Each structure stands twice: as structure tokens, then as C-alpha cells.
């Protein structure tokens, strides 16, 4: 069980790292970019909701609570806060009331998809993120906040 928790925690750190890259230095008007469906701020709010839902399932009190998007800076903060809260629960000795495989295949994998959407929207809006070799990135379990290490190898 501990190995599974560590793997999911590594996945959460990966999401934090990649989300940091997709969100970093986004122009103020990017939050409301409307070039392809949901606006980035709506996607980010959904990502925060995913980790709130993940935590509720892990704690044995499942509940989906869709949020009305906040301002871009508040949504960025909320996303990282919900991600950190879920990671902290997995790091604890508290019992899990949901299968880690299902948490990974559902909300965690969904969040990875949404990080990619935000990166793609950045490019569509004309403010692309810089490419990076994520294989060598300094991603570490427990590192799920907005502060992330600098890239090791940018493209």
C-alpha cells in the first residue's frame, strides 16, 4: 500500500510541476481566453474541484462540489492548496477509503489532461510556455505547492 501511495504522491508532484510551468507568467487576460471551449480559469477551477473530490473520497466522505471560478490568482492559489491537501492526506497514516488505482485513473489522470489543455491554450492565445525535458526535471514527492524548482533542461 505504501508503494502505491508514494507513486500517486509522485504523480501529484508531477502535476504540480507541470501546472506551475503552464500557469507561470500567463498574461492577465489569459484567464478568460475563449478560443477553444472552456476558459482557462474554468479549467483551473475544475482542477481544484478534482483534488477536493479526491480528498473527500480518500477520507471516506465522497462529494463533488463544483466551484464558481474565482479570479485567476485566487484560482491558482486554490488549485495548489487542494493539491497539497490531498497530498498531505496521502502522506499521513490516515486510512484510505478509496482505491488508489481509481483515484489515479479518474481525478489524477484528468488533472494531467487539463494541465495539457492549459498549455495548449497558452500557445493558441499567443503566449506559449517554454519547452522542457520533463524526464530530467527535479520533481520530488511532497513538492506540490506553487513554488517549483527551475527547469534543468529547457528546449
Is 95 buried (19+), middle (13-18) or exposed (0-12) by CB count in 10 A?
A: exposed
Contacts of 147 (CB under 8 A, 6+ apart): none
Residue 154: pLDDT band with limits 50, 70, 90: confident
Is 2 buried (19+), middle (13-18) or exposed (0-12) by CB count in 10 A?
A: exposed
Residue 106: pLDDT band with limits 50, 70, 90: very high
- Does pLDDT of 37 surpass 70? yes
Instruction: State the average pLDDT over residues 99-124.
Output: 97
Instruction: State the average pLDDT over residues 57-61.
Output: 98
- Does pLDDT of 62 surpass 70? yes
Q: Which fold has domain 2-136?
A: 1.20.120
Q: What are phi and psi of 95, to 5 degrees?
A: -70, 150
Average pLDDT score, the chain? 95
- Identify which of 23, 5, 25, 10 has the alpha carbon closest to the alpha carbon of residue 96: 5
Cell representation of residue 54? 479526491
Q: What is the pLDDT of residue 69?
A: 96
Q: Which residues pair with 132 in a beta bridge?
A: 154
pTM here is 0.95
- Cα 24-13-23 angle, rounded to 5 deg: 15
What does the domain layout of the chain look like in residue ranges?
2-136
Strand, coil or helix: what is 154?
strand
Q: What is the pLDDT of residue 2?
A: 81
Instruction: State the average pLDDT over residues 80-95.
Output: 98
Query: Which percentage of the chain shows pLDDT scores above 90?
Result: 91
Q: What is the pLDDT of residue 1?
A: 65
Largest Cα–Cα separation, the chain? 45
Instruction: State the average pLDDT over residues 28-42.
Output: 91
Amino acid at each position: 500500500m505504501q508503494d502505491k501511495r508514494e507513486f500517486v504522491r509522485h504523480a501529484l508532484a508531477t502535476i504540480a510541476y507541470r501546472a506551475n510551468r503552464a500557469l507561470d507568467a500567463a498574461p492577465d487576460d489569459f484567464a478568460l481566453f475563449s478560443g477553444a471551449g472552456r476558459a482557462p480559469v474554468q479549467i483551473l477551477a475544475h482542477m481544484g474541484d478534482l483534488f477536493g473530490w479526491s480528498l473527500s473520497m480518500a477520507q471516506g466522505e465522497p462529494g463533488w462540489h463544483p466551484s464558481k471560478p474565482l479570479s485567476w490568482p485566487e484560482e491558482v492559489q486554490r488549485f495548489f492548496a487542494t493539491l497539497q491537501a490531498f497530498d498531505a492526506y496521502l502522506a499521513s497514516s490516515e486510512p484510505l477509503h478509496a482505491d488508489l488505482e481509481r483515484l489515479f485513473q479518474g481525478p489524477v489522470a484528468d488533472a494531467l489532461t487539463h494541465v495539457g489543455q492549459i498549455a495548449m491554450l497558452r500557445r493558441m492565445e499567443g503566449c506559449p510556455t517554454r519547452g522542457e525535458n520533463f524526464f530530467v526535471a527535479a520533481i520530488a514527492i511532497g513538492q506540490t505547492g506553487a513554488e517549483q524548482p527551475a527547469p534543468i533542461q529547457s528546449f
